[in-house]
Structures are given as C-alpha cells and as structure tokens.
Structure 1
C-alpha cells in the first residue's frame, strides 16, 4: 500500500508541477474559453503578480508533496489552489469536473493521511 500511495501522490504532484511550469513557460495550448472565462482570465492578467505567484505556489507545493517528509506542508500549500480550481469548475466550467474531482480526492487523502502533523495547528 505504501508504494501505491507514493505513486498516486507523485502523479498528483506531477500534475501540479506541470501546471505551474506551464504558467512560466507557456508550452501547452490553451483550450477555447467562454466569454465569462475570458473575462476572468483577463482580470487575472491585469494583476501582474498573480500568475507568477500561482505558478510558484503550484511548483513549490508539488515538489513538497513528492518528498514524503514535507508532504503535509505541500498539501497545505496546494489546498487553496485546489479550492479555487474546484470553485472555477463548479461555477464556470462543469465539463472539467471529471478531471478535477479525483485530484481533489487525492489532496484530501494526503491531508487525512497527515492529520497527526496538523494537530498542533488546530489546538
């Protein structure tokens, strides 16, 4: 089970690493966006520091998740990003939910797997 868990968590982290690096290097094509999505994306682009921050956090969080000792911290870094992704897909792009829901489930699994490490934060 430990090997399966490491493989699943690593694949999860590689998805976020790819997304973060794509924000820096723009090597993947952007799918056709709806007018609402274009408006939201335009607002993100007006805030010059937002995309580099998001890319940095995705990249850093994914690297932390790959390393078992820092996995709990990586999950905390990726949690707000995953929350934003889920909210986006629930409100603007429901067609992406089949891809996002398993990723959210893996993140929840990582958090539950490391719940003892979070105990001090909740006291």
Structure 2
C-alpha cells in the first residue's frame, strides 16, 4: 500500500514539475493577471538573467522525469530540491498566495527524500 501511495504522489509531483519546466520553454500557461508588484520585479530580474529560466526549466523536466520512476527517484529528488527551495523562498518572502499549493509539494518532496534516505548515506558517510 505504501508503495502505491508513494508512486501516485511521485507521479503527480513529477508531472507537475515536467509541466512547469516545459512551460518555461513554450509559455503555454498564462501568468496571473494580478500579481503583486514585488513578485513582478523579482520575475523581471529572473528574466534579465538569460540562462537562469532555461536552467531551472531543464532541472524541473529532468527531475520530474526521474522522480516518476522508483529506481531514479532519489536522484530526481536531489535535482528538484534546489528548485523547490527557490519556490518556497519566493512564496514566503515575495508573495504568500502560492503557499497552499507549495506546501503539499514540499511535503511530498521531503517524503521522497526520507523514503530514499538509505541511498543518500554513501554521500555523507566517510
């Protein structure tokens, strides 16, 4: 039962990140019309750095694909983790309206990391 729940959550999480990453290249999801000015400034600054959004998009797509499959889930979680930190910081510092969507995804990522903790031990052991 635990494996099925983990698979479903990982699949949804992975598809969410694949979609978000592809949107950075194809812009098929419109931005909200009423975004706070501070968030608009932050997004403008991110767009000024020409390589940043494609890099985040690639990380989201690759991490999302890897998280879907149990064998590569631990690697996908490590790839997506820095992106999730940025999402959390954006949604806590700049605009808190996205927190209800962000927090469940943080919980899923932390569960995936916890569930795969044995795979990370060689990285931190002597």
Give the TM bin, normalised by the shorter chain.
over 0.9
Identify the residue that residue 61 of structure 1 maps to in structure 2: 63
Structure 1 residue 44: deviation in Å? 0.8
Number of positions where the alignment pairs a residue of Structure 1 with one of Structure 2: 123
CA distance in 2, matches of 1:3, 1:73: 20
CA distance in 1, matches of 2:97, 2:41: 19
Residue equivalent to 1:26 = 27
Which position in structure 1 is the counterpart of 2:11? Answer: 10
TM-superposition CA deviations, 1:33-84 (whole Å, max 9, x none): 2111111111111110001000000000000001110000000000000011
Counterpart-to-counterpart distance in 2, 1:45 and 1:90 = 20
* Pairing 1:104-123 to 2, within 5 Å after superposition: 104-123=106-125
Q: Give me the TM-score of the superposition, normalised by structure 2.
A: 0.95
Aligned match of 1:42:
44
| Residue of structure 1 aligned with 2:86, choices 84, 108, 117 | 84
Structure 2 counterpart of 1:71: 73
Name stretches of at least 5 consecutive residues in structure 2 with no aligned partner. none
Distance 1:121 1:25 in 2: 36
Q: Which runs of 5+ in 1 are unaligned?
A: none
Note the C-alpha offset of 1:116.
0.2
Over aligned residues, Cα RMSD in angstroms? 0.7
Q: Would you identify which runs of 4 or more consecutive aligned residues in structure 1 move more than 6 Å?
A: none
1:92 shift after superposition: 1.4
